[in-house]
Structure 1
Amino acid sequence: MWKADDLLSRLYEEALQGHRAAGRSQSRESRKSDLTHALKAAIGHFEPNQHHVPIRLERVECDGYIRERVELSATPGLSFAAYVLIPAGGSSGLPGVLALHGHGYGSREIVGLLPDGSPDHGKPGIHQHFAVQLVKRGMVVIAPDVVGFGERRLDADLLKNPDTPSSCFRLSTQLMMLGKTLTGLRVAEAVRALEYLVSRPEVDAGRIGTMGFSGGGLISYAAAALDEQIKAVVLTGFTNTFKDSIFAVNHCIDNYTPGLLTHAELPELIGLIAPRPLFLESGKNDRIFPEEGFKQAAAKIQAIYELEGVPEKLQTDLFPGKHEISGRIAYDWLMRTLG
């Protein structure tokens, strides 16, 4: 055979056989521990910034909430901005949510702003201004700018094309050559944003959740798998199997983590969140995270929750839509669960 189709299929099946063998030979807790360590190692480590002091950049009164913007840092030499949405009224002890956007123009896309920072009064795009939907239900929301999008695109890419949609390719490939991954950097910054959220006086540190869309779903599941202070998770436009999604569809390179599939398929990795509450949302017409892959993944994750003895803590919604956020059940589920 001159072509490698059969080779790829055989290697995938061998990986699955390895997963099954490991599952049979280990206790559930031992398997979870090994997978958690494997995920952490696969995405790579970034030196934490122990000395950066958060800086408030703006504070704006909006309809029913306050919008602040702060500057944070997760690793030396690199800072990032995050919007913080706070329900009006100055209450304390509120649930907090880490909101993570996918491909687009950054956190402004989920907090009701246009790329230039002006209010977006038009019909929301696929992100549905979901951070605003959450704060209006009574949650304090932090929405960090994910590196590689919007204001965080690389100068090297902008010089070639001022309209380049992202810097995912350059960031991913160069970090991989350095033994790190873009997912690792994004997760490190998400966890730093979470730490800042927990430190806010409005927030109850015991009532913390995350909601991520598309690539933000990748960051959300990985952050939740590695940080148990996250008590509830919503993944939308992301849950699938590697085989039915990133192996079958041309995805952005930021979805690929070297060696990760040798440890587990995506449903088992998402299952590391169990027994904490988890909501999975996907559109029936999502072409990059297809319906069949979502159904298979959800069934496998449900089996994990049944093994944990908490099948009721997993909820799903396959809604009539495309690659977009629905929130028709998920928003209220998250508030109710954290409440």
Structure 2
Amino acid sequence: MWNPDAVMEKLYHSYEQKRQEQQRQETAGQTRDRLKQGLADSLQIGMLKEDEPLPVLLERIEREDHIRERIEFGTVLGFRVPAYVLIPRGKKGPSAAVLALHGHGYGSRQIAGMHPDGSENTGEPDSHGNYALELVRRGFIVMVPEIIGFGDRRLAVDLKEGKVGSSSCQALASHLLLYGISLAGLRVQEAQRAIDYMLSRDDVDGGRVGCFGFSGGALIASYTAAMDERVKAAVLCAFANTFKGSIMHVRHCIDNYLPGALAYGELPELMGLIAPRPLFIASGKQDPIFPVATAEVSIQYLQNLYTEAGAAENLGFHLYEGKHEVNGSQAYPWLVKAMERELSGH
């Protein structure tokens, strides 16, 4: 047989064996340091030129239960990013805040209660579940940046085509690779700059900032929380898995692939860099692209890690009946409690 399947399988296991051999020669702390350095190198953390944020308020609209601001701010390499900031009405004093990162779809409006054209969506929520709205209604200030490659941040050719929900991931990722930059790395660094902006606001409690991501947004939330300890709690919805069981098992968008990752760690190990900070995993039992069997492998690894760190109570998970979709029925109250614990110092 000339097909490459057997060789590719052998390659995966050879890298797995190398990682295991290396870990046997390390302390737990050394393994963690190596994983974090490897992830930082893959993401090029600190290597892209940062811009002055120079935030601009574009609009401010009062809704029934929250205020919606539209801003733009600078990140890296000259990119300007539009974002929504949802603020609970009647909130007094600095509040806990959440960076809400959308998945593949039509962008920031999809989780903030709007149609692609910006008009209000009063119907039933789609697979994204309007989780930015759900979070602001639970008292959080919620920032929803437009992730590069989606919505208003697609390439001009894709915007001109006008197809709702299309992305520019393939072209952006391909072009960035020619410069040695991964799309995941760019997105994580833009998420970090969004946190910079959040911490500059007088109404945000800088000690209580969390991330909530769905699908590709959960990838960004995961790696951002792993690298940036300003993130005090993270919710990863429809993402937690193994590389082998998900993005190497079925076809995924190119933005999921991180250069050199398997040289230093599998996905559960990278998510484990969030420990011992609070982490919640949510995943649909019928999700075809992040299968439940390998989601459970990931959860078991994290349970062991959090237990060894003496922080078992900081890990939560919910495997729900559903496909590739948001179900926040347990994630939302978990995040509220996690932030309350941060406020009390426990």
- TM bin, normalised by shorter chain, reads over 0.9
Q: Distance between the aligned counterparts of 1:49 and 1:313, measured in 2?
A: 33
Q: CA deviation at 1:93?
A: 2.3
Instruction: Report the counterpart of residue 58 of structure 1 in structure 2.
Output: 59
Q: CA deviation at 1:5?
A: 1.0
**Equivalences for residues 271-310 of structure 1 within 5 A:** 271-310=272-311
Q: Distance between the aligned counterparts of 1:47 and 1:265, measured in 2?
A: 25
Instruction: Report the counterpart of residue 249 of structure 2 in structure 1.
Output: 248
Q: Given that residues 44 and 179 in structure 1 are in contact (C-alpha distance below 8 angstroms), is that contact kept between their aligned partners in structure 2?
A: no
**Equivalences for residues 1-339 of structure 1 within 5 A:** 1-45=1-45, 46-159=47-160, 161-163=161-163, 165-339=166-340
Q: CA deviation at 1:331?
A: 0.4
Could you give the per-residue CA deviations for residues 198-226 of structure 1, whole angstroms, max 9, x where no partner exists? 22111111111100000000000110011
TM-score by length of 1: 0.97
Q: Given that residues 211 and 220 in structure 1 are in contact (C-alpha distance below 8 angstroms), is that contact kept between their aligned partners in structure 2?
A: yes
**Which has the higher mean CA deviation after the structures are superposed, 206-215 or 45-54?**
45-54
Cα pair distance change 1:166/1:337, threshold 3 Å = same
Q: Distance between the aligned counterparts of 1:90 and 1:6, measured in 2?
A: 59
Q: Given that residues 214 and 236 in structure 1 are in contact (C-alpha distance below 8 angstroms), is that contact kept between their aligned partners in structure 2?
A: yes
Q: CA deviation at 1:48?
A: 3.6
Q: Distance between the aligned counterparts of 1:277 and 1:90, measured in 2?
A: 25
Q: Distance between the aligned counterparts of 2:309 and 2:19, measured in 1?
A: 18
1:310 partner amino acid = A
**Which has the higher mean CA deviation after the structures are superposed, 52-61 or 231-240?**
52-61
Q: Distance between the aligned counterparts of 1:69 and 1:201, measured in 2?
A: 17
Cα pair distance change 1:232/1:52, threshold 3 Å = closer
Q: CA deviation at 1:247?
A: 0.7
Q: Given that residues 51 and 78 in structure 2 are in contact (C-alpha distance below 8 angstroms), is that contact kept between their aligned partners in structure 1?
A: no
Q: Between the two proteins, what is the percent identity of the paired residues?
A: 46
Could you give the per-residue CA deviations for residues 122-158 of structure 1, whole angstroms, max 9, x where no partner exists? 1111111100100101111101000000111101334
Q: Distance between the aligned counterparts of 1:18 and 1:91, measured in 2?
A: 53
Q: CA deviation at 1:228?
A: 0.3
Q: Distance between the aligned counterparts of 1:114 and 1:298, measured in 2?
A: 34
Q: CA deviation at 1:50?
A: 3.8
Q: Given that residues 103 and 213 in structure 2 are in contact (C-alpha distance below 8 angstroms), is that contact kept between their aligned partners in structure 1?
A: yes
Q: Given that residues 93 and 203 in structure 2 are in contact (C-alpha distance below 8 angstroms), is that contact kept between their aligned partners in structure 1?
A: yes
Q: CA deviation at 1:241?
A: 0.6
Q: Distance between the aligned counterparts of 2:118 and 2:26, measured in 1?
A: 51
| SS of match in other structure, 2:283 | strand
Q: Given that residues 48 and 76 in structure 1 are in contact (C-alpha distance below 8 angstroms), is that contact kept between their aligned partners in structure 2?
A: yes
**Which has the higher mean CA deviation after the structures are superposed, 135-144 or 22-31?**
22-31
Kindly report the root-mean-square deviation, in angstroms, between the aligned alpha carbons of the 2 structures: 1.2
Could you give the per-residue CA deviations for residues 67-117 of structure 1, whole angstroms, max 9, x where no partner exists? 111101111321011111111114122111110000001110000011111
1:62 partner amino acid = R
1:8 partner amino acid = M
| SS of match in other structure, 1:114 | coil
Could you give the per-residue CA deviations for residues 218-266 of structure 1, whole angstroms, max 9, x where no partner exists? 0001100110010101000000111111111110111111211111110
Q: Distance between the aligned counterparts of 1:40 and 1:124, measured in 2?
A: 36
Q: Given that residues 73 and 80 in structure 1 are in contact (C-alpha distance below 8 angstroms), is that contact kept between their aligned partners in structure 2?
A: yes
Q: Distance between the aligned counterparts of 1:248 and 1:47, measured in 2?
A: 32
1:243 partner amino acid = K
Q: CA deviation at 1:188?
A: 1.1
Q: CA deviation at 1:21?
A: 1.7
1:26 partner amino acid = E
Q: Distance between the aligned counterparts of 2:22 and 2:132, measured in 1?
A: 39
Q: Distance between the aligned counterparts of 1:181 and 1:91, measured in 2?
A: 40
Q: CA deviation at 1:121?
A: 0.8
1:283 partner amino acid = G
TM-score by length of 2: 0.95
